[in-house]
Amino acid sequence: MMTAITTFYLSRVLGLKVYATDGQYLGKLTDLFIQAGTEGQVSGEPHRPRVAVASTKKNGISTCFDFSYFTVTKTNNRYSISCSDTRVISEETSYDFLPLKEHVLDKQIVDLNGRKLVRVNDIRLVSVSDGTYAVAVDVGTEGLLRRIGIVKPLKSFFSVFNVSIPAKFILWDDVEAVDYSNFHIKLGKTLKKLNTLHPSDMADIIEEMGKSSRDHFFSNMDEELAADVLEEIEPKMQVDIIENLPISKAADLLEKMPANEAADILDMLEEDKAELLLREMETETSDDVRELLEYEDKEVGSLMNTDFLSFLETDTVDTALQIIRTQKPEYEVLYNLFIVNKAGKLIATLSLRDLVISEPDTKLSTIMKRKVNHVYDHDPLDILAEIVSKYNLLAVPVVNENNELMGMVVIDDIVEDLMGKRRTK
């Protein structure tokens, strides 16, 4: 019995012989091409790219046809493909479409829901009245077994023991490809959904990528986001990424990272490469990083963040809040606010809570805390864990021998250090 089918898998039709309705042999199906991008998609509707082109090969010669005139049928569990109109698509036009076998099948993709890389074992397509569409990718064991033609006998065997073969599909809307290097689509569009992930989730995904995909990913990512993600990646891979980026791009990423994080990366690079990057960076940022590189690894200064907010005790609450709004600091900077004198010496701390609940014209001198638990920049790192634990601090101010405020060490960096480099105790 022959029936036109509505749902089929790419693996089931690749390699099939294609015939025109008059019996003319057109060759074996080698690939299906879908429309790239989201042009024409209705806002809020699921994205289902239409299959536009079919590629066949006959006597070693490849030809592309308009897939609109193709019909996939199933006869006694065997698939066949026919073509009612052999309209040829030029090679130049085919570049506007994405070949599924060449660029999606067997490639690594990002499972946005699982926040991990998975391999595409098969692609599910559906035919409706207005065309054929790619609706999902199969990343489960069933898809892999289908490819080698043993899924049915294994299903029958396992059903005796009431065991099922794992199947997992990812809808096309939730698919983001990773190997961008040969795609005929704009990278910005494919990165759109990935950009919604937390930097730590993106870091986990990137750490699983191959080197070329990883480098290409960072080369095209928004610099602010790239810097956030780079902070979350394990140190050896950070170095590898920076070494393989153009000097200007690498310097831009380091500039957008906290100075202490940038210093940690540069400290692991060859001296000549580190110097090149420092010269390429903006002078103010470069100077901050150079100062941090002067500290020994076992000293507090090597871990401190030189980004902090300080005010004079004569400032008002309104003035302080205006400064915060203008500077828009990272959230770690708000862990602790500091009061210094005109010489830059630390005299008190200030909590964001007290700042927010106080009246605008209140002088900071009336809400600041003069008793300050601080450390010196050349103190041993071992002292940090004890201080934050004893006094329940989110950040510890760091001063030099003249009591001038140099920066602060935030609890995030202390915990990361304890779990990673293990320099603090």
Task: Tell me if residue 312 falls in helix, strand or coil.
Answer: coil
Q: What is the pLDDT of residue 279?
A: 94
Q: Is residue 88 over pLDDT 90?
A: yes
Residues ≥6 apart with Cβ < 8 Å to 307:
258, 259, 329, 330, 332, 333, 407
d(CA 71, CA 79): 10
Taking 90 as the threshold, does the pLDDT of residue 368 lie above it?
A: yes
What does the pLDDT look like over 161-170, one tens digit per residue?
555 555 678 8
* Mean confidence (pLDDT) of the chain: 83
> Tokens standing for 363?
């002088």
Q: Which of 2-16, 35-49, 69-83, 218-232 comes out lowest in average pLDDT?
A: 35-49
Percentages helix, strand, coil for the chain, rounded to the nearest 5? 40, 25, 35
Q: Sorting pLDDT into bands at 50, 70 and 90, what band is 422?
A: very low
pLDDT of amino acid 182: 47
Distance CA 152, CA 395 (A): 60
Instruction: List, as one string, the DSSP characters of 27-89.
Output: EEEEEEEEE-S-TTPPTTSPP-PBEEEEEEEETTEEEEEEGGGEEEEEETTEEEEEES--PEE
Q: Is residue 299 part of a domain?
A: no
Q: Are residues 289 and 318 in the same domain?
A: no
Q: Does the pLDDT value for residue 258 go beyond 80?
A: yes
Residues 105 and 159 in one domain: yes
Residue 399 has a pLDDT of 96
Confidence of residue 179 (pLDDT cuts 50, 70, 90): low
Listed residue (211, 260, 216) closest to 240, CA to CA: 211
**Does the structure show a pLDDT above 50 at 186?**
no
Residues 115 and 249 in one domain: no
| Separation between Cα atoms, residue 104 and residue 57, nearest integer Å | 20
Instruction: Please state at what angle helix 247-256 crosses helix 271-280, rounded to 10 degrees.
Output: 70
Section 168-196 average pLDDT: 58
Q: What is the dihedral of CA 343, 347, 352, 358, to 10 degrees?
A: -100
Kindly state whether residues 121 and 221 are assigned to the same domain: no
* Boundary (domain end) residue, out of 174, 208, 240: 174
Residue ending a domain, among 174, 209, 224, is 174
Length, in residues, of the chain:
425
Cβ-based burial of 25 (10 A; exposed 0-12, middle 13-18, buried ≥19): exposed
For 149, the domain range is: 2-174
Segment 2-21 mean pLDDT? 83
Residue 147's CATH number: 2.30.30.240
Query: Does any domain span residue 185?
Result: no
Q: Are residues 114 and 214 in the same domain?
A: no
Whether the pLDDT of residue 337 is over 90: the answer is yes
Domain count within the chain: 3
HSE of 167 in the Cβ direction (CA atoms, 13 Å)? 12
- 29-73 pLDDT, tens digit per residue, is 999 999 865 555 545 566 788 999 999 999 999 999 999 999 998
Does residue 287 sit in the same domain as residue 330?
no
* CB-based contact 128:207 (threshold 8 Å): no
Do 283 and 326 share a domain, yes or no? Answer: no
**301 falls within a domain:** no
pTM of the model: 0.59
Quick check: 189 pLDDT over 50?
A: no
41 and 77 belong to one structural domain? yes
Residues 137 and 227 in one domain: no
Buried b (16+ CB within 10 A) or exposed e, 224-259: ebbbbbbbbbeeebbbebbeebeeebbbbbbbbbbb
Top pLDDT among 124 and 119 is at 124
Closest CA to 133 of 56, 21, 40, 27: 40
The band of 2, judged by pLDDT with boundaries at 50, 70 and 90, is: very low
Residue 303 within any structural domain of the chain: no
Short-list 245, 314, 305, CA closest to 280? 245
